[in-house]
Amino acid sequence: MANDTVERVAVLGAGSMGHGIAELAALGGYDVTIRDIDEEIVTEGYENIEWSLEKLEEKGRIDESADEILGRIGATTDLADAVSDADLVIEAVPEQLEIKEDTFSSVDEHAPDHAILASNTSSLSISDIASATDRPDQVVGLHFFNPPVKMDLVEVTYGEATSDETAEAAYEWVESVDKTPIYVRKDVHGFVVNTVLVPFMEEAAWMLSNDETTIREADAAMVYERGYPMGPFELNDFGGIDIGYHFRSESDQPVPPVVEEKVENDHLGKKSGKGFYDYDDGDGVGYKPEDAGSYDTLRTEAVMINKAAWLVGNDVATPEEIDIGLRLGGSFPEGMCRRGDRIGLDIVLEKLESLYEEYGEQRYEPTDYLVELVEEGWTGEDAGKGFYDYRVEPPYHYINWELDDDGVLEVELDRQERMNSMSDDMFMEIERLLNDVDVDEVSCVVFEGAGDRAFSSGADITGFTADDPAEIMDVDEMFQTVYEFPRPTVAKIDGFCLGAGIELALACDIRIATEDSTIGTPETNLGVIPGGGATQRLVRLIGEGRTKEMVFRGMQFDAAQAEEWGIVNHAVDDEAFEDRVGEIVDDLVSGPPVALKAAKRVINDGQDASLKAALAMEKQSFAVLATTDDMLEGVTAFRRNREPQFEGE
């Protein structure tokens, strides 16, 4: 029976994945034993962990010392020793079924009965691996991405016999080490991420094999026109061309001839000095935006969306899980379900049908689920439903929000894989939330960034070349919605707050930052200027000279300087941060709502009026407020020497 209290972890294999997983487990507070067959490999793995922890310590990214964390890690070559008291065993030995089976059979013999046995395989079947044990119900896939400490995603994969109890315990463990798990509910080859990601590279390789594209054209189009972080050939070179090759051939699927040829010639990508690009004797990756030509981006995206539909239709994963998987595991700007809903599933289906007709290849055959959606008229966002249902409560993918009993609306920008940088969807979601929320229920709004690295590093730069300039200009509306929201707003800044990040903060009424935060307007480094209001809001806040210096020089500085310049209200020590924000929010929550709303309007609008007109606005508001119940309550409380209880009337 799986144990839901994991205290001790054993990691088998001290290579790049194994030592990374062991480091992660130790960072999460677990006692870990790392084991490999050879003393030298174990020592190397241990030293790699030591080096990495020291780097994290130097960068101030860990709360404990590297030595303390290292103190939780033991190393051995003895498998029985490593697993005998482990509650969770994670295998990260070479990707060969025989080696995995031998390992699991020995682990089964020596690990406690309650232990969960996990495999980090990325391409083998969990069910096959589990069958080497007498407890297949306690065997689960835990597919970490490389490097495990940096990459946020872990796929938690069911084998045929895996019990819910085991999968749930594994899922919770992943959360306990601060990673994001997604369930892969069936043991399908490639799990979720690779099922959708591999065609990104493969479709381009088929097109190259058929002389339908060039390497640079495909890479430039997917990066600059569609916003992917790397082009398909660049990604293939980066990850290793042999990896994708084995992935296809293991599952008896045809391999594009250009890939076969590269593997035969040992041109495996960056690691061998040559792949689709030449790294040793050439300039390496070298495409430019103008190389994009007429590459058929929809062809690749349609195949990926078809794969995503196949996963959903076969209950392997939900659209949310697929999209999180691709964002965190593939660094995609958005998941393929969301992208499909934006493109229009009817357009995707039509594309697949025409490709299927032209080439007759199985990979173009539209999956049943996609056909069903389109037949029912659920063709995506414009139709109100596609992979996601946009009709009643449209989903929020990039912000988390909560309205508590005191009326504090907490909005968390959550795109940690890209430093909470703001995509079009994030802009839209913030705006939609503020427009849809019942203002009477809200006493104040607090914006913050998810994770511990950034409030927001700005607008998503990768979208700049892919988006229509008119859409980029529209971002301004969200900032104005925040600025005009009729309740006090607070920016709670911890970490990078750059570009659109500081612009969101400037649209808030009060800004409070941890001392270590970095604040700035780096847009000129990108050849643009702030587009979300910073030039205008900053000049009103800190004056012309400082605004010009900041914007012209693309300056970034710490919170102390931001406080000195008047950009943030308070720069606060890390330890005191939550309390300080809490004090401010408490004051806003207990303040008189009608008066605060009036004060905000008069202060905002008065800045654009003449002093005379602004004073008149103030006087008028004062007079109106003097007739409210809140004023009576304020005066009564003063006379009776008690705290006022404002009702907002």
| Catalytic positions, written as ranges | 122, 143, 155, 194
Q: Which residues pair with 448 in a beta bridge?
A: 412, 492
Q: Which of residues 205-264 bind ligand A1D88 (CB under 6 A)?
A: 229
Q: Tell me how far, at minimum, the Cβ of 119 lies from ligand A1D88, in Å.
A: 26
Q: Which stretch binds ligand A1D88 (CB under 6 A): 195-203, 305-313, 441-449, 458-466?
A: 458-466
Nearer to ligand A1D88, 449 or 592 (CB): 449
Applying CB under 6 A, which of residues 380, 458, 591, 644 lies at the interface with ligand A1D88?
458
Q: Which of residues 272-331 bind ligand A1D88 (CB under 6 A)?
A: 331
Nearer to ligand A1D88, 339 or 418 (CB): 418
Note the residue count of the chain: 649
Tokens coding 638: 């003063």
Q: Which stretch binds ligand A1D88 (CB under 6 A): 5-13, 39-47, 375-383, 456-464?
A: 456-464
Cis link prior to 147 (omega < 30° from 0)?
A: yes
- Contact letters (x/-) for ligand A1D88, 533-572, by CB under 6 A? ----------------------------------------
Nearer to ligand A1D88, 203 or 523 (CB): 523
Torsion of CA 163, 167, 172, 178, to 10 degrees: 170
Residue with tokens 């051939």: 249
Nearer to ligand A1D88, 243 or 461 (CB): 461
User: Per CB under 6 A, does 498 bind ligand A1D88?
Assistant: yes
- Contact letters (x/-) for ligand A1D88, 330-369, by CB under 6 A? -x--------------------------------------
From first CA to last CA, the distance across the chain in angstroms is 59
Tokens coding 543: 């004056």
Q: Tell me how far, at minimum, the Cβ of 289 lies from ligand A1D88, in Å.
A: 16
User: Per CB under 6 A, does 500 bind ligand A1D88?
Assistant: yes
User: Per CB under 6 A, does 499 bind ligand A1D88?
Assistant: yes
How many C-beta neighbours within 10 Å does residue 604 have?
Answer: 12
How many C-beta neighbours within 10 Å does residue 548 have?
Answer: 13
Size of the site for ligand A1D88 (CB under 6 A): 21
What are the residues whose beta carbons fall under 8 Å from the beta carbon of 484, sequence distance 6 or more?
604
Applying CB under 6 A, which of residues 224, 228, 398, 496 lies at the interface with ligand A1D88?
496
Angle subtended at Cα 282 by Cα 279 and Cα 287, rounded to the nearest 5 degrees? 85
Tokens coding 244: 């994708």
Q: Which residues pair with 459 in a beta bridge?
A: 422
- Cβ 141 vs Cβ 184: under 8 Å: yes
Q: Tell me how far, at minimum, the Cβ of 418 lies from ligand A1D88, in Å.
A: 4
Q: Which stretch binds ligand A1D88 (CB under 6 A): 120-128, 455-463, 579-587, 637-645?
A: 455-463
| 147 class by beta-carbon count within 10 Å (0-12 exposed, 13-18 middle, 19+ buried) | middle
Nearer to ligand A1D88, 162 or 517 (CB): 517
Nearer to ligand A1D88, 32 or 475 (CB): 475
Single-letter residue type at 225: E
Nearest to 2 by CA among 130, 133, 169: 169
Q: Which stretch binds ligand A1D88 (CB under 6 A): 312-320, 395-403, 451-459, 583-591?
A: 451-459
Taking CB atoms, the residue at the shortest distance from ligand A1D88 is: 499
Q: Tell me how far, at minimum, the Cβ of 454 lies from ligand A1D88, in Å.
A: 6
Applying CB under 6 A, which of residues 236, 457, 489, 547 lies at the interface with ligand A1D88?
457
User: Per CB under 6 A, does 517 bind ligand A1D88?
Assistant: no
Q: Tell me how far, at minimum, the Cβ of 153 lies from ligand A1D88, in Å.
A: 12
| 529: phi then psi, degrees, rounded to nearest 5 | -125, 165
Using CA atoms, how far apart are residues 9 and 107, in angstroms rounded to an integer? 13
Nearer to ligand A1D88, 3 or 331 (CB): 331
| 232: phi then psi, degrees, rounded to nearest 5 | -60, -40
Q: Tell me how far, at minimum, the Cβ of 155 lies from ligand A1D88, in Å.
A: 18
Q: Please provide the DSSP assignment of 546-612 as one string.
A: HHHHHHHHT-EEEHHHHHHHTSSSEEE-HHHHHHHHHHHHHHHHHS-HHHHHHHHHHHHHHTTS-HH
Tokens coding 323: 């999209």
User: Per CB under 6 A, does 479 bind ligand A1D88?
Assistant: no
Sign of the dihedral through C-alpha 93, 95, 99, 103: positive
- Cβ 558 vs Cβ 516: under 8 Å: yes
Nearer to ligand A1D88, 185 or 327 (CB): 327
| 638 class by beta-carbon count within 10 Å (0-12 exposed, 13-18 middle, 19+ buried) | exposed
Strands 496-498 and 518-520: parallel
Using CA atoms, how far apart are residues 349 and 331, in angstroms rounded to an integer? 25
Applying CB under 6 A, which of residues 531, 591, 592, 644 lies at the interface with ligand A1D88?
531
Q: Which stretch binds ligand A1D88 (CB under 6 A): 70-78, 205-213, 237-245, 457-465?
A: 457-465
- Contact letters (x/-) for ligand A1D88, 387-426, by CB under 6 A? -------------------------------xx-x-----
Binding site for ligand A1D88 (CB under 6 A): 229, 331, 418-419, 421, 457-462, 475, 496, 498-500, 522-523, 526, 531-532
